Structure 1
Amino acid sequence: MNLKNKNILLISPEPWNHIFVSKHHYATHLAKKGNKVFYLNPPSNSDRIEKIDFENLFSVHYTGFIKGLRFFPQFLQKHVIGKKFEQLQHLCKVKFDIVWSFDNSVFFDFSALPEEVFCISHIVDLNQDFEFKKAAKTADLCLGVSKPIVDKLKLYNNNSFYINHGFNEDNKSDQSAKIKLPGKERVKAFYAGNLNILYLDWDLVKACVNKFSNVDFVFAGPWRNNDIKDMLSSKNNFHYLGVLSSSELSKYYQCSDILLIIYKYSEFPDQLSNSHKMMEYLASGKMILATWTEEYQLLAKRGLIKMAKTDEDYVEMFSAIINNIGFWNSEKMQEERKKFAKKNTYNNQIKAIEKILANGN
């Protein structure tokens, strides 16, 4: 199957107005290939369709399903899902060729949809574990971004394949518009992401901030008020920037010396085996220090990034990096990291999926 000139219903657990993540990037890149992409937002209080600032791309709002649908008898589940699908086709005034779902909490029984509709279950987060089995079993194709996800998908569907996170090559913020990161120290360590997630290892963050007073730690992203935030904000070498737009992040990466991934690897090894953040960071070229991220072992062996399995190793590696920052951010090292990211553009990931489809899967 060629992913061109198709009507695609792309189902996302994040709304269109969310900071752009993989679902948004797949939507925009599929639309550029001449597909009409209908981005289905999480359920809301109305049924409507909005044209947005991308050609061939529409934001679709719908009222969702009856509460407790997953507990209904299967024949009734299928009836409700099929009826809702018909309503969406009527709303969008098209017949969908493909349903591309990143969310197995809705439309989780693809067998309820017309036989001619090709259904893809694309899992990029292991916390997408609502109706995992049923969605995987009834999909025509399953995709996952890590070995643990693909292994789990294969329990229910042999047509399950690995596709890494993508890099958005279209994100070209004005690099000539230089910014200055806060703080008086020479070395800048930067982290951007949702600071409310349970995976962040705040004990390790505190240990690094306390030990490396000669480094400015700069964090950005949504963050509710809490004791950790108050405590870190009282440190002279810790700086919180608030929420930054995804289109501006690359400028902040460029002004940093070390990009951080600092998660509770030992508690959540499967969930943290492939962070989407890693690909963003690699595209900047800057040095990355991460807690263990299984899918990037080969890059660590090549010396392009550093990854630690223990807090002690993380702190030791941090020290080694800041003492030789010129080497880690040399032009050669930065180019190698960028080269890796460019192999994983969203266009290339879509080509890889087309190749899977061409082989009869």
Structure 2
Amino acid sequence: MPCARSPVDPAQGMNMYLDQPRTIYLISPQPWDGFKVSKHHYARALAEMGHSVFFIESGPTTKGWGRIEITDSEIPNLKTVRYAGYMFRWFRFRARGLYDALGPVKVRQLERAIGVRPDIVWDFDNLFQFRSLTLFDPALKIFHPVDSLVAGWTAAKDQDLHIALAQEFTDGVDPDRTPTLFVPHGLNPAHAAYAREVVSTPAVFSTAADRPVVGYVGNLSADGIDWPMIERLVRQNPEVTFRLIGPTGGLSDPNERSIAERLKDEPNCEMPGLVPVEKVVEQAGEIDLWLVCYDIARRPDAAINTHKVLEYLATGKAVLSNYIGAYEGTGLLHMPATHSNDDMPSILARVLADPMRTNTAEEMARRAAFAFEHSYAANLETMNRFLTDWVSGRVDPDPDGATAGKAAQVPA
């Protein structure tokens, strides 16, 4: 059956590439289970379009070395694939040459286990499970990094097409050979639905609590969170409630673990752990200000972009963030002018001095509208046009940000 269609200019008189069901191997550096980020949301969106999506994760299986586990997910058309035992993962990080030499064997094993070869290999893996995507020929090969690459590696994987968040994610990619499309982070369906309502009736979503609430949602075990600054903000503002939503169990740094434990004891800090995104959206109306707080010196990609900002903006509420280059000059975030977070306490004080003025109906509608324009569905429409142009041999620069390269022939 045909897939859910993307808008098409009737004058083109042609089907879009993703309008027909495709078999997609989506390669992820993270497992399907657990906290959901960009690659999970794209996998779900592609499956909901009617494609057969195999979410390939390199994680230890329960069956031993070399076995492959394929499991139905909770999403129709989406299966998870675990393909590596402990020894194979050891090769990947300790004996890279041997690991790469085993690549063709592993791909053949995957294809046999899955039972169908891919039409598209959509690779989100910044940890390089596969050094070259030509192992999956003749599939259409896309590299789509949404996280910083491993130090010393480039974005060149012999891909047909490259999709990137920013220029920083294109190192090593020759635009004359590999067409490149720049696409920002996407907005998940739950937040997109919320944003649509905020745009329609922003005044309904304003807060009027006497005690301001600052919210943070994300993987609190992630590298690069500026825990000392978060603790400083909490302790300097006892009249403000800080709600930090997300898991902390994976914190490896003893100092960060210590700060997280201390914050749990602060009377103005709530740390409920991992909360489903639908529940987070339900609580969004209680938040006056959202927080993004990474130490850019430790996590440089946090200065480029982060997907949580779109989710925050979708609620219409103001956002206090570390510096993020993608939002400089937009007026959408309250953030320092430099990579240092030293000014965040004074910015917080200024914003909370008049929260109702910060979250006017006009400003809330503007923030939510910006977020809604970048839903995963909207981003996939842009990518669908890009893929269609490439497959059909059109190589003119794409108006949505693609840089044309040499077209290749792929079955349409």
Q: Give the TM-score band, short-chain normalised.
A: 0.7 to 0.9
Aligned to 1:178: none
Provide, for residues 114-164 of structure 1, a one-character-per-residue CA deviation record: whole Å limited to 9, x for no partner. 2x21111111110x317843x624111122213322356459964333111
How far is 1:43 from its partner? 2.6
Aligned to 2:119: 97
How far is 1:24 from its partner? 1.1
Matched, 1:168 2:188: yes
Does the aligned pair in 2 maintain the 1:108–1:131 contact within 8 Å?
A: no
| Worse-superposed segment, 100-109 or 57-66 | 57-66
Provide, for residues 284-340 of structure 1, a one-character-per-residue CA deviation record: whole Å limited to 9, x for no partner. 11110111011111322xxx3211134442222111111111111122111111111
Letter in 2 for 1:2: Y
Does the aligned pair in 2 maintain the 1:185–1:215 contact within 8 Å?
A: no
Aligned to 2:375: 345
Alignment of 1:61-76 (within 5 A): 61-63=82-84, 65=88, 67-68=90-91, 71-72=96-97
Provide, for residues 14-63 of structure 1, a one-character-per-residue CA deviation record: whole Å limited to 9, x for no partner. 11112221111111111122211111122322422222222211112223
Aligned to 1:22: 38
Q: What's the TM-score once normalised by structure 1's chain length? A: 0.86
Matched, 1:355 2:385: yes
List structure 1 runs of 4+ shifted beyond 6 angstroms.
none
Does the aligned pair in 2 maintain the 1:220–1:240 contact within 8 Å?
A: yes
Alignment of 1:73-92 (within 5 A): 77=100, 80-92=102-114
Aligned alpha-carbon RMSD (Å): 2.6
Alpha-carbon separation, structure 2, partners of 1:248 and 1:152: 41
Letter in 1 for 2:104: G
How many residues align? The count is 343
Letter in 2 for 1:143: I
Match of 1:2 among 8, 12, 17: 17
Secondary structure, in 3 states, of the residue corresponding to 1:59? Answer: strand
Aligned to 2:211: 186
Matched, 1:313 2:343: yes
Does the aligned pair in 2 maintain the 1:257–1:286 contact within 8 Å?
A: yes
Does the aligned pair in 2 maintain the 1:253–1:259 contact within 8 Å?
A: no
Does the aligned pair in 2 maintain the 1:142–1:157 contact within 8 Å?
A: no
Does the aligned pair in 2 maintain the 1:217–1:239 contact within 8 Å?
A: yes
Does the aligned pair in 1 maintain the 2:38–2:186 contact within 8 Å?
A: yes
Provide, for residues 155-209 of structure 1, a one-character-per-residue CA deviation record: whole Å limited to 9, x for no partner. 9964333111000124569x9xxxxxxxx97100111112222311122212212
Aligned to 2:225: 200
| Structure of greater relative contact order (alpha carbons < 8 Å, 6+ residues apart) | 2
Structure 1: segments with no counterpart, 5+ residues: 176-183
How far is 1:11 from its partner? 0.9
Alignment of 1:1-361 (within 5 A): 2-3=17-18, 4-45=20-61, 46=63, 47-63=68-84, 65=88, 67-68=90-91, 71-72=96-97, 77=100, 80-103=102-125, 104-114=127-137, 116-126=138-148, 128-129=149-150, 132-133=153-154, 136-151=156-171, 153-154=173-174, 158-170=178-190, 186-224=211-249, 226-300=257-331, 304-308=332-336, 309=338, 310-360=340-390
Identify if the C-alpha distance between structure 1 residues 66 and 295 changes in structure 2 by more than 3 Å, giving closer, same or farther: closer
Secondary structure, in 3 states, of the residue corresponding to 1:274? Answer: coil
How far is 1:272 from its partner? 3.2
Does the aligned pair in 2 maintain the 1:262–1:290 contact within 8 Å?
A: yes
Does the aligned pair in 2 maintain the 1:150–1:161 contact within 8 Å?
A: no
